[in-house]
Amino acid sequence: MMAVCRFMPKIFRLGSLNRISLVPRQCLHRGAVMGVSDADFTSAKDRVGTLSEDPGNEVKLKMYALFKQSTVGKCNAPKPGAFDFVGKAKWSAWNELGNITQDDAKQKYVDMVNDLVAKDSKASAAAAAEQSNATPSAYENLVVTVEKGVCKIMMNRPKKKNAINRETYEEIIKALESAGADANVVLAVLTGAGDFYSAGNDLNNFMTVTPETKVQAAKEGAVLLERFVAAFIDFPKPLLAAVNGPAVGIPVTTLGLCDIVFASDRATFHTPFASLGQSPEGCSSYIFPKIMGQAKANEVLLFGRKLTAQEAFDRGLVTEIFPDASFQEDLQKKLDQYAQLPRQSLRISKTLVRSIEREKLHQVNKEECEVLTERWTSDECLEAILNYFSSKSKL
């Protein structure tokens, strides 16, 4: 998913299966329509409860809509109010199905469940195998290792394209603080597991927003965001980023706070603030114009231009590009080389470089978070997020 909603950790909590039920409760006892057999339809409905992992709200919206279309037909419910975010998203997903027949909807529902169950079984088997060989870790969403002076902080939610939830933000803060205090660490590198660097904030979590909680959630989200960005600003040692794949949102903006950025040639960089009714964060409103020039930065920050690795290199955001096929090998050579340098010299040099603008960066961070607090509670932002979910729920 394009998980780029700037940052509302409390609002961005992964909705439970009960939040957007895969089977609308009022439809559970309706008879199935003709087409797919009653037994197949009932079996699919029952097997939804066997899934070991939440499939995400985009999928759940599609399944909700298909079930409603299967058992009721074309959307006939009144459109919920603007601030009934979940209700409006569910209504939009159902309404988007238009005149699709009940038989067709049933077939699509059964096919989707079958596909989910098959994928879930494979994923569960792989997870069990990994768990049997795993060592205890202080992190649930990261893999953090220290070897030969290099602290590698890897975002480890590959099934979610390393989308960042509240817990992941807290863990990255913790990992940076730990690496900064560890005498064995010469430098730290942030990267992602799998094919993505990170898809940004987990937009699925936005589905729990309510009129009663949105203001407080926005305030709490801004506090956590400010702490997160401050951890980058204050990191006392060289901080590198290894962008192994697509990056969206705050994983892009915080690259400006890293000392060196390596990228795979298949990496992309996207900050679609305007399309989601939001504004820049990660000190990008200040740093990007400095490194790219005002006009080039405006293309990225205001109009959401997605950059290729080469374009990011040409604009000064990326330090060096490696072929994807040899990315890990080339990266390791660089890390080994840098880790051999005198650690105290590196730390002193980093302090000199960063101290010149540390106060300014904290000021920008604070101001960006204040603006985002207002953005997150605006009708424009809520409507933009809803439109995103509506487009994703179309079949």
Contact 275, 294 (CB under 8 A): no
Residue 82 has a pLDDT of 60
- Model confidence over 276-318: pLDDT tens digits? 899 999 999 999 999 999 999 999 999 999 999 999 999 999 9
What the block records as the tokens of 126 is: 């792989």
Residue 4 has a pLDDT of 40
Neighbours of 337 (CB within 10 A): 9
Lowest mean pLDDT among 7-16, 112-121, 224-233, 328-337: 7-16
For a pLDDT cut of 70, what percent of the chain falls above it? Answer: 82
Angstrom distance (rounded) from CA 13 to CA 332: 35
Mean pLDDT throughout 122-136?
53
Q: Using the predicted structure, report yes or no on whether residue 1 has a pLDDT greater than 60.
A: no
- Model confidence over 145-191: pLDDT tens digits? 999 999 999 999 998 999 999 999 999 999 999 999 999 999 999 99
Nearest alpha carbon to residue 347 among 287, 242, 259 = 259
Residue 152: its H or E element: strand 150-155
CA 288, 291, 294, 299 dihedral sign is negative
Q: Using the predicted structure, report yes or no on whether residue 27 has a pLDDT greater than 90.
A: no
Q: Give residue limits of the domains in the chain.
A: 25-133+385-393, 142-382
User: How far is CA 65 from each of CA 37, 93, 109, 235, 349, rounded to the nearest angstrom?
Assistant: 19, 6, 9, 47, 57
The mean of the pLDDT values for the chain is 85
pLDDT confidence band for 261 (50 / 70 / 90): very high
pLDDT confidence band for 33 (50 / 70 / 90): very low
Task: Tell me the fold of 25-133+385-393.
Answer: Acyl-CoA Binding Protein (1.20.80)
User: Helix or strand or coil: residue 127?
Assistant: helix
What the block records as the tokens of 64 is: 């909700």
Contact 167, 222 (CB under 8 A): no
pLDDT confidence band for 42 (50 / 70 / 90): confident
Domain 142-382 annotated CATH 3.20.20.140? no
Torsion of CA 36, 40, 43, 45, to 10 degrees: -10
Residue 190: its H or E element: strand 187-192
Lowest mean pLDDT among 14-23, 68-77, 118-127: 14-23
Q: Using the predicted structure, report yes or no on whether residue 248 has a pLDDT greater than 70.
A: yes
Pairs from 115-122 (Cβ < 8 Å, separation ≥ 24): 116/48, 116/51, 116/55, 116/59, 117/47, 117/50, 117/51, 120/50, 120/51, 120/52, 120/53, 120/55
Residue 138 bridge partners (DSSP)? none
Residue 84 has a pLDDT of 67
Q: Using the predicted structure, report yes or no on whether residue 62 has a pLDDT greater than 60.
A: yes
Contact 46, 22 (CB under 8 A): no
Nearest alpha carbon to residue 259 among 354, 330, 176 = 354
Contact 55, 21 (CB under 8 A): no
